[in-house]
Amino acid sequence: MESIALKRSIFEKDFLAGIEQNQFVLYYQIQVTDNAQAIGAEALLRWQHPHHGMMLPGDFIQLAEETRAVLPLTQWIIEAVCNQLAQWSNQPEFSHLVIAINISPQQFRQHDFVDQVLSIVRKAGINPQRLKLELTEHSLIRNMDEMVDKMSALRHAGISFSLDDFGTGFSSLSYLKRLPLDQLKIDQSFVRDVLTDPNDAAIAKAIITLAESLELGVLAEGVETKEQRDFLVKSGCHAYQGYLFSKPLPLESFEALVRKKFSV
């Protein structure tokens, strides 16, 4: 127990120092339509650790949640994305892009979360319609009324919401009816075997049908082959994210990709 406590203490200091010393960077994975137009990207976090090298979120997010170090980090991500959207606002090839951010459940439960986000958006001077917040099913299990109120306030301001990892947790049609969502994401675990597993194919089709009936957008993540994309197109999905189009890229490489292949 002492060893675990020491590890967490060291990690938290390392983490906070990483934020102060700009060790965290955002990579962008493009999101496209079925006619190969870029519609946005998901901002994905990377930690350029001075001793451990480039670290992916799976290496540190859980511990960050447990130590609450995730709170200042999520605020930094929102600020970084909003500032990037401001820089793109006067560039025709980027001004239409919508950037999605994964929001920590802890951050979303903060009493001043709505004010915090709106303050950052106003300070950056961006169109709030270019910002999308992604939540997971697990973040919606508690305090549903509070969640709905916060989402409604932000959505009223123009910010959209996507439900990530839909179908992998405790999916409930009752909360889908209540939540002010704009989009469902088909999890990559269903997309991966959509051509070989009838169950995954049926689930993917069901999510698409459900989204359509609720007048929600739908985006499939983890699309790696043209055959997967074609199946999704035939099933009624018209927005995608995955290695078929691009892996997550640092900013300059992402901008070059949009200019070269996916300009409107």
CA 103 to chain centre: 7
pLDDT value of position 55: 86
Q: What is the pLDDT of residues 51-107, one digit of tens each?
A: 878 888 888 888 788 778 888 889 999 999 999 999 999 999 999 999 999 998 888
Structural element, H or E, at residue 166: strand 160-166
> Which residues face 101 on adjacent strands?
43, 133
Below-70 pLDDT ranges, the chain? 1-10, 139-142, 167-172, 261-264
CA distance 129 to 58: 29
Q: Please check whether residue 108 is in contact with residue 142, taking contact to mean a CB–CB distance below 8 angstroms.
A: no
CA distance 47 to 53: 8
CA distance 11 to 67: 9
Q: Is residue 21 part of a domain?
A: yes
pLDDT value of position 169: 61
Q: Is residue 193 part of a domain?
A: yes
Per the structure, how many domains does the chain have? 1
Q: What is the pLDDT of residues 136-146, one digit of tens each?
A: 877 666 678 88
Q: Is residue 8 part of a domain?
A: yes
| Global pTM exceeds 0.95 | no
Q: Please check whether residue 45 is in contact with residue 24, taking contact to mean a CB–CB distance below 8 angstroms.
A: yes
pLDDT value of position 35: 84
pLDDT value of position 260: 84
Alpha helix ranges (H) inside the chain: 2-20, 61-67, 70-88, 105-108, 113-124, 144-156, 173-178, 188-191, 198-213, 226-235, 251-261
Range of the domain at 64: 2-259
Q: Sign (positive/negative) of CA torsion 101, 103, 108, 110? A: negative
Q: Is residue 264 part of a domain?
A: no
CATH of the domain at 17: 3.20.20.450
What φ, ψ does residue 209 adopt, rounded to 5°? -65, -40
